[in-house]
């Protein structure tokens, strides 16, 4: 048996078409969704992702603003800019590209973004609301994974999901999102003992460890769904995930590739969150005026 490869690029393209139509509809009410992206320093990968976010905004007819700072920018200056953007009516979404230089507290930055414009879904208010099943901005990579699973027709209710990795931006929120879908969730991490035994019991594995080829065929039950969130470079400098793709595809039922799996969904969901924020601000305005 060979796994069905989930084509994230194709699903992202379809979703972007839907978003484009909804943006056009919203514009008829005089509101153009606006996204502000803050980039600090000259990390090459971050520059690529930010360019891609801007390009996607343009394709979808959204307004986008890029604010770039030198690596040495002070935390104070960055926070001041966020506060300005929080009250800028043309901006519905604010994101600060991560990672940030060591002298800037990521948590302080995230907490300064208004929860109503936190389209990355990283603010503790949005994380907390998501945890208790209330409406919130959902973090882009976890939400992207949920959309991929649903669009691929993969049932979640009652399924055993094993999340390998416990970062605040992927591991923890994706487990919680899938729990909200009535999956049974086990979290594993670097100190988990007997990892293979746990992953072998999984119907769905979410690999978010950040180590190239970490999940091998020995971790995977026949027919399981394997979602690869890793973005690593192998010894030849080639982009690869956390899953040993060639061997796992012989065992898994469904598998996401890297590139072309989860990655393209991250930016698509960001666009969706920005559209949602613009719509919410219009509704708020209409309520105030009525």
Ligand X SMILES: Nc1nc2c(c(=O)[nH]1)N[C@@H](CN(C=O)c1ccc(C(=O)N[C@@H](CCC(=O)O)C(=O)O)cc1)CN2
Residues annotated in the binding site for NADP(+), as ranges? 165-167, 231
120-179 residues in contact with ligand X (CB under 6 A) are 120, 140-141
Indicate the residue among 49 and 69 with the shorter CB distance to ligand X.
49
Indicate the residue among 6 and 198 with the shorter CB distance to ligand X.
6
Indicate the residue among 33 and 257 with the shorter CB distance to ligand X.
257
Active site residue 118: no
Among 202, 252, 267, 278, indicate the residue that binds ligand X (CB under 6 A): 267
CB 66 within 8 A of CB 15: no
Q: Which residues are annotated as a binding site?
A: 165-167, 231
Q: Could you tell me how many residues of this chain bind ligand X (CB under 6 A)? A: 18
Catalytic hit among 97, 221, 228, 249: 97
CB 277 within 8 A of CB 119: yes
Helix, strand, coil share (%) of the chain residues, nearest 5: 45, 15, 40
HSE-CB for 258 with a 13 A CA cutoff: 25
Name 260's Cβ contacts closer than 8 Å, sequence gap at least 6: 7, 8, 9
Active site residue 203: no
Indicate the residue among 65 and 239 with the shorter CB distance to ligand X.
239
Residue 119 sits in the site that holds ligand X (CB under 6 A): no
Residue 65 sits in the site that holds ligand X (CB under 6 A): no
Round to whole Å and give the CA distance between 56 and 35: 11
Residue 260 sits in the site that holds ligand X (CB under 6 A): yes
Structure tokens of 268? 């698509």
Active site residue 242: no
Give the residue closest to ligand X by C-beta. 263
Q: How far is CA 88 from CA 9, 34, 36, 210, in A?
A: 33, 10, 10, 36
| CA pseudo-torsion sign 272, 277, 281, 286 | positive
Round to whole Å and give the CA distance between 51 and 45: 10
- From residue 204 to residue 243, the character string flagging contacts with ligand X as x (rule: CB under 6 A) and all else as - is ---------------------------x-------x----
Residues contributing to the site for ligand X (CB under 6 A): 48-49, 95-98, 120, 140-141, 231, 239, 258-260, 263-264, 266-267
List active site positions. 53, 97, 120
């Amino acid at each position: 048996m060979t796994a069905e490869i989930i084509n994230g690029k194709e699903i992202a393209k379809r979703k972007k078409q839907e978003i484009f139509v909804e943006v056009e509809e919203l514009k008829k009410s005089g509101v153009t969704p606006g996204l502000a992206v803050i980039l600090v320093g000259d990390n090459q990968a971050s520059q690529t992702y930010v360019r891609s976010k801007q390009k996607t905004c343009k394709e979808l007819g959204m307004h986008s603003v890029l604010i770039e700072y030198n690596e040495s920018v002070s935390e104070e200056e960055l926070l001041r800019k966020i506060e300005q953007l929080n009250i800028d009516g043309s901006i519905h979404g604010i994101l600060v590209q991560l990672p940030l230089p060591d002298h800037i507290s990521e948590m302080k930055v995230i907490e300064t973004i208004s929860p109503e414009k936190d389209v990355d879904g990283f603010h503790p208010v949005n994380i907390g609301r998501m945890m208790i099943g209330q409406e919130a901005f959902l973090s882009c990579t976890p939400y992207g994974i949920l959309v991929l699973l649903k669009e691929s027709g993969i049932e979640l209710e009652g399924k055993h999901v094993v999340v390998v990795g416990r970062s605040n931006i992927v591991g923890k929120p994706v487990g919680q999102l899938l729990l909200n879908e009535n999956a049974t969730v086990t979290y594993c991490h670097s100190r988990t003992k007997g990892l293979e035994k746990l992953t072998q019991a999984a119907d769905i594995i979410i690999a978010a460890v950040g180590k190239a080829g970490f999940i091998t065929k020995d971790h995977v039950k026949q027919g399981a769904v394997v979602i690869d969130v890793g973005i690593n470079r192998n010894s030849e400098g080639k982009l690869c995930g956390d899953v040993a793709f060639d061997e796992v595809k012989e065992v898994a039922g469904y598998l996401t590739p890297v590139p072309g799996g989860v990655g393209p969904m991250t930016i698509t969901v960001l666009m969706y969150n920005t559209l949602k924020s613009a719509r919410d601000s219009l509704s708020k305005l209409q309520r105030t005026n009525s």
